[in-house]
Amino acid sequence: MSDHDDSNADAHDAEHDESHVGHHGSMKLFVTVFIALIVLTTISFTAANSPLMNNPMVGWSVMMAISCAKAMLVISFFMHMLWEANWKFVLTIPASMMSVFLVLMLVPDVGLRTHRYSESRWRYASEPQEEHVAGEVHIEVSPDVDGDESDDEDEGEE
């Protein structure tokens, strides 16, 4: 009987300890994180409408970096991961790697699907036509009809 009581008490203690251990951070900290998230969102929004988008790759990279920063803030503080033991890596890292592999496996078949289209394949493709000129992809839909400026990549035009 006394054994039983003990184990009950232990379990209760453990739970109490656990909740105590998990109880990091303060409202002040969470408010700070919240404000930081809002500021980052604003920066991201501003970047999308700024000259950074003249070179989309730069704009996109900035926005993705901001998103990653926001994600880290949410994971670390709101999800308390900062204060968890090392089990957090066991659960999150393999999952993240799996998803990266999944996406990488799509690249050859889906991402690069149009790279080896033949002329006739283009004609009947559901996508608008792209022409391969001297190994370079140039868009037939955007350049002038007369053919001048046909080598201009319209990348910068968003």
Near another protein in 70-89, by CB under 8 A = 70-71, 74-75, 78-80, 84-85, 87-88
Taking each helix axis as running N to C, give the angle between helix 27-48 and helix 56-73, from 0 to 180 degrees, rounded to the nearest 10. Answer: 170
Letters for 86-125 (x = contact with another protein by CB under 8 A, - = none) are -xx--xx-xxx-xxx-xx--xx--xxxxx-----------
Query: Which of 15, 54, 55, 83 forms a contact with another protein (CB under 8 A)?
Result: 15
User: Residue 121's CB: how many other CB atoms inside 10 A?
Assistant: 10
Query: Which of 5, 119, 120, 158 forms a contact with another protein (CB under 8 A)?
Result: 158
Provide DSSP, 128-147.
Answer: PPEEEETTEEEESSSS-TTS
Q: How far apart are CA 107 and CA 43, in angstroms?
A: 30
Least distance from another protein to the Cβ atom of residue 137, Å: 6
